[in-house]
Amino acid sequence: MAFDGITVAAIVSELNRLLIDGRIFKISQPENDELLLTIKNNKEQYRLLISAGATLPLIYLTDINKPAPLTAPSFCMLLRKHINNGRIVKIYQPGLERIIHFDIEHLNEMGDLCQKTLIVELMGKHSNIIFCEDNRIIDSIKHVNFQMSSVREVLPGRKYFIPKADEKLNPLNCTQESFMKAVFQKNLPVSKALYTSLTGISPIAAEDILSISGIDSDLPANALNDSEQLHLYHIFSQYMEETVSGNFTPVIYYKNQVPKDFSAVPLTVYSDLESKTFPSISMVLEQYYAEKNAATRIKQRSADLRQIVSSALSKNYKKYDLQLKQLKDTEKRDKYRIYGELLTTYGYSAKAGDKTLRCINYYDDSEVTIPLDTELEPMENAKKYFDKYGKLKRTYEALSQIILETRQEIQHLESISAALDIATDENDLKALKEELVQYGYIRRKSGDKKSKFTNKPLHFIVNETTQIYIGKNNYQNEEVTFKIATGNDWWFHAKGIPGSHVIVKSSLDELPDSIFELAGTLAAYYSKGRQMEKVEIDYIQKKHVKKVNGSAPGFVIYHTNYSMVCAPASPDALGLISVK
């Protein structure tokens, strides 16, 4: 979700509750476009992180103290001079703008009480932190001159004002008449008409308002009838009333354990996603961006491995198709053998110069016409067909083994590809890289030793009688199946697709159905089919699962198994907490 006006309203509500009358104890500038204020209030200490980064403008309370440069930048020194030990008297948001004002009282050099304002603008590439007195800019963390913006200069001495964005309405005080006129006269999808007409409303908030109202967001705004327009206005008004009243429920939405979005209020458009609520919007922002950055970092760092696996798979797919085509060509071998045998039996009836020999196939009593080489005797033609048969038979036998090996290599690479999708930390990637090295897909550099890292399977304690283990890669699959599991433990795996081995260990003589369903759901989630609605799962007691000699790690065979169909769901969605 964009850092929209509703999110800013939630931040302002939280800061008013915790920081009003607090004193600014410390000011640092960890980055060129970032401030960290330490504030003491009601015997508590708070750290407020403010970032005016063009790609990720943020403001939230945090427990993390970021190191500051040895020499403070000039903007930081200016703030220390004026508002260090200042008292925060007011925190407010103009309308629903993505702007926060901090009014701060302090004593000047003469000992007189003064008030200045620190303004935080969270507007994408135009984000800034501006220090003002009586609406006059003292300085800013970013200077904006006329060449950079013809709309507004942000320079010391200039008057501060909020740039008007296409004359948008303030959603907190717009009337029914102004709302109708601004939104429903546009020939745009109604969702776009909403967020382009109203300040602080993001596209996802507009989608959510329409989802609550039951109106298709793709309908043209000027095509809605009077009752639909009035209904949408009432839903919108209720939405804004919740914002004004400070009725926020900060939440993060997850898709496949990766944070997809956050919001200050629950979003009906994400009702099908996993979600986690938090007591404060600051906690949401801090965790969301930490998790998002971690997921992005893992994805970036796995890119090279993905490329290696993808390239190897592509080559093997092409090789496999070619081998299958060659194998199909060997299907004629038995026909040539029969031709040779029939010529050995009936060749005496062929005359010199005959191009064919018609005779009865004594295997099925059908009449067959055998092409002949006119320059060869009948027995020489028979030998020629026997030679063709022998060559194709040898080719068939060799290709059958090669195809089996190619198919196993494809399955191995597909299992590594699936494990890359499951990987959540650096150790997972190191284990997969080591596997690629050992199987020759990556060359170990001269002098490099085998990587040392800790990479344990997932472990969940379901209750006092039952535990579940899940392998996240082939080596872990090998471990959970053949080292952790014992004979009567239950083993689960997605049918016919790469995925994790899931082991259920229990002290019960018979598992309840709920545990089978839980394990099957996890096996579906930790497989290549995690994006599917339903996945077929094979399950069997571990004693019936066998390792194939010489096969890649994690590859097993089993014969008599049970099956069920499960919808994939993450451990978080199932209320499971991993044992570290």
Cα distances (Å, whole numbers) of residue 163 to 99, 168, 427: 11, 11, 48
Nearest-angstrom CA–CA distance, 396 and 329 = 9
Span 107-154, pLDDT tens digits: 888 888 999 999 999 988 889 999 999 999 999 999 999 888 888 999
**Residue type at 490 in one-letter notation:** W
Nearest to 257 by CA among 422, 136, 371, 461: 422
Nearest-angstrom CA–CA distance, 400 and 324 = 9
Span 370-417, pLDDT tens digits: 999 998 998 999 999 999 999 999 999 999 999 999 999 999 999 999
Span 19-72, pLDDT tens digits: 999 999 999 999 899 999 999 999 999 999 999 988 789 999 999 998 888 899
Give the DSSP letter string of 87-116.
Answer: EEEEEE-STT-SEEEEEEEEE-TTS-EEEE
Mean local confidence (pLDDT), 426-438: 88
Span 438-460, pLDDT tens digits: 888 998 776 666 666 677 899 99
Nearest to 477 by CA among 564, 551, 390, 400: 551
Nearest-angstrom CA–CA distance, 446 and 112 = 71
Joined tokens for residue 149:
């913006």
- 374-378: which pairs have CB atoms within 8 A and are 24 or more residues apart? 378/343, 378/347, 378/348, 378/350
**Who's near 227: CB < 8 A, 6+ residues apart?**
none
User: 120 by DSSP, 3-state: which?
Assistant: strand
Exposure of 341 by Cβ count < 10 A (0-12 exposed, 13-18 middle, 19+ buried)?
A: middle
Q: Between the CA atoms of 212, 216, 217 and 218, what dihedral angle is there, to the nearest 10 degrees?
A: 170
pLDDT of residue 490: 96
Span 468-511, pLDDT tens digits: 999 999 999 999 999 999 989 999 999 999 999 999 999 998 99
Give the other-Cβ count within 10 Å of 487's Cβ.
8
pTM of the model: 0.64
Decide the pairing of beta strands 251-255 and 136-140: unpaired
Q: Is residue 190 pLDDT above 90, yes or no?
A: yes
Contact 403, 327 (CB under 8 A): yes
pLDDT of residue 3: 83
**Helix 378-422 and helix 333-346: axis angle, to 10°?**
170
User: 225 by DSSP, 3-state: which?
Assistant: coil
pLDDT of residue 1: 54
Nearest-angstrom CA–CA distance, 58 and 81 = 24
